[in-house]
Amino acid sequence: SSLPPVITIDGPTASGKGTVAHRVADALGFHYLDSGALYRLVALRSQRVGIEVDEVKDLADLAHGLHLRFRGDKIWLEGEEVSQLIRAEDIGNRASALAVHQQVREALTARQRAFRTRPGLVADGRDMGTVIFPDAPVKVFLTASVEARAERRYKQLIDKGFSANMEDLLRDLTARDARDASRAVAPLRPAQDAHLLDTSDMTVDQAVAQVLAWYGQAVPGQA
Ligand code: CDP
Ligand code: CDP
């Protein structure tokens, strides 16, 4: 096909998708899509305007109409820079709660596919390989033990100046994993043709090298 190549990186919370996807995109000079940020933006905006996570029609309308700008690591929502705000754990949990609705997901589909421009895209999320870019030449499903992931997220939250508690994190991660994996629409699962990568005992560098190697095999002469 003449569409630019896409590398999809899906997996559960704090498996390292964002970090690895970002690094792979930099290495290849590709664009980067953090699809989870879109759900987090819907979560933040709906919370502010007082729409509940089960008001499906209002959420879908809001998702359609969001005014967003992405530049480098920064994200603007209705003109306000919210890059750090959307990383709060309650926003992640709220995002997961509203992401169960088919209409909300459909409202974000075209926006996600629009990131696929030359020279290529690295996209991370839950359904990048299964729903949004099913024809991607390279699909990766990242995992890590729940303990490793809770520890990673704990460090990230503290670094960003949020308070965090290991017990709450373990409980919330487990609940979010279960909800993301069990929902009827676009559940978290590896695409049939995805490479599985357990990063529990890997460094970021090792994970990045493995993804680049898979890309080099799938698209020879490019990586
Ligand atoms: O995007 P996702 O929620 O899957 O994870 P992330 O935001 O990339 O966070 C993963 C955190 O774990 C980052 O602080 C990474 O530096 C760290 N980490 C990793 O991503 N991969 C490893 N193999 C080891 C640590
Ligand atoms: O950083 P973390 O992995 O915790 O979450 P995220 O990737 O920012 O996504 C937040 C929530 O949005 C997830 O728990 C999912 O329920 C939802 N999401 C989704 O349904 N589909 C995607 N492609 C990305 C995120």
Tokens describing residue 113: 């596919």
> Which ligand is in closest contact with the Cα of 197?
1
Distance (Å, rounded) from C-alpha 210 to C-alpha 7? Answer: 13
pLDDT value at position 214? 98
pLDDT value at position 35? 98
Tokens describing residue 13: 């919370």
Residues in the chain, how many?
223
Ligand 2, atom 3, residue with closest C-alpha? 13
Atom of ligand 1 nearest to the CA of 156: 14
**If pLDDT is split at 50, 70 and 90, which confidence band does 42 have?**
very high
Lowest mean pLDDT among 7-11, 21-25, 168-172: 168-172
Q: In what order do the strands lie in the sheet with 68-71?
A: 68-71, 74-77, 80-81
Structure-model confidence comparison of residues 221 and 32, the more confident one: 32
- Burial annotation 91-111 (CB, 10 A radius, 16+ → b, else e): bbbbbbbbbbbeebbebbeee
pLDDT value at position 180? 87
pLDDT value at position 186? 87
At residue 121, the 3 state secondary structure works out as: strand
Distance (Å, rounded) from C-alpha 223 to C-alpha 218? Answer: 10
Pocket of ligand 2 (CB under 6 A): 13-14, 35-36, 39-40, 92, 95-96, 99, 125-127, 176, 180
Asked whether residue 223 carries a pLDDT value surpassing 60, the answer given is: no
pLDDT value at position 222? 62
Rounded mean pLDDT of the chain? 95
**If pLDDT is split at 50, 70 and 90, which confidence band does 123 have?**
very high
Asked whether residue 26 carries a pLDDT value surpassing 70, the answer given is: yes
CA of 13 to the centre of ligand 2 (A): 7
Indicate whether residue 143 lines ligand 1 (CB < 6 A). no
What ipTM does the predicted assembly reach? 0.96
Q: How far is CA 223 from CA 29, 30, 71, 168, 219, in A?
A: 10, 11, 25, 41, 8
Ligand 2, atom 13, residue with closest C-alpha? 96
What is the pTM for the complete model shown? Answer: 0.94
